[in-house]
Amino acid sequence: MIKRLQNITTKISSYIAIAGIIIIWQLISIMEIIPRYMLPSPVDVIRAFILDFPLLMHHSKTTLLEAFFGLSIGILLGFIVAVVMDRFHFAYKAIYPVLIITQTVPTVAIAPLLVLWLGYGMAPKITLIVIVTFFPITIGLLDGFMSAEHDAIKLLKSMNASEGQIFKHIKLPSSISHFFASLRISVSYSVVGAVISEWLGGFDGLGVYMTRVKKSYSFDKMFAVILLISFISLLLMKGVAVLQKISMPWAGKEKNL
């Protein structure tokens, strides 16, 4: 009963905080502390979202398609790299510094080069998404592999288990929670990465739409896009949480104990 009350209080607190921000935002707009053409009111943003809803959905399809392909390749590449780094110590020493270096380069600086090399189609967008998503997946899986119980590994080795059997029965199950933790980060990165890459050129996508409305100084529509991107990211992260509960039903039971 106490836990339920705490959960309800936590949810109500978050809703109250969001409602408070919206009310303050609306008051700032009404009092014209900041000009409305620079900071449109929440009402204006909702109105723009409703009026441009069909167009937003059209551009969302392109962005989500890019995010899906980029994230899928990022997961596959991250899994392969993590397995190689865990299996071969020299590969870990060689690859890990390169992974760190890739994360020090701003994505905004990489995007123009990718457009120059790969054109204005989906290829540069997907490539950028792969770059920003495979790092969390790789590090998360690698940490999961390394967190496997050494006693269990020694036990299997004493029973003449192969490296593949040890990986299948010990290391892979221990990495599931780490994988989903990194996947929650990567799904949000995939949408943001797609939008950033679309800023630099393209024909469809939420980033292209943002560029167009910015040039026409339609900031209410720009805020509407930002609202949609945030909603999509939160929805995808919630989907990952649901998938984790389905894949790891024992995790929820452990918390309740």
DSSP letter for 159, please. T
Residue 172 has pLDDT above 70, yes or no: yes
Instruction: Indicate the pTM of the whole model.
Output: 0.86
pLDDT digit string, tens, across residues 173-198: 989 999 999 999 999 999 998 998 88
How many degrees, rounded to 5, is the angle at CA 95 between CA 92 and CA 100?
115
Segment 218-243 mean pLDDT = 93
Q: Taking every pair of C-alpha atoms in the chain, what is the biggest distance, in angstroms?
A: 76
Confidence of residue 56 (pLDDT cuts 50, 70, 90): very high
Q: 31 is written with which tokens?
A: 């009092």
> Which DSSP letter does residue 18 get?
H
For the segment 7-31, the average pLDDT, to the nearest whole number, is 82
Q: What does the pLDDT read at residue 6?
A: 63
Per-residue pLDDT at 112 exceeds 90: no
Would you call 118 exposed, middle or buried from its count of C-beta atoms within 10 A (0-12, 13-18, 19+)?
A: middle
Ramachandran area for residue 103 (φ above 0: left; ψ -120 to 50: alpha; else beta): alpha
pLDDT for the residue 214: 86
Residue 235 above 70 pLDDT?
Answer: yes
What is the distance between the alpha carbons of residues 50 and 37, in angstroms, rounded to a whole number? 19
Reported as a single tens digit per residue, the pLDDT across 120-169 is 888 889 999 999 999 999 999 999 999 888 889 888 888 888 888 999 99
The answer, yes or no, to whether residue 21 has pLDDT greater than 70, is yes
Q: List, in order, residues 6 or more apart from 34 with CB less than 8 Å away.
A: 28
Quick check: 47 pLDDT over 60? yes
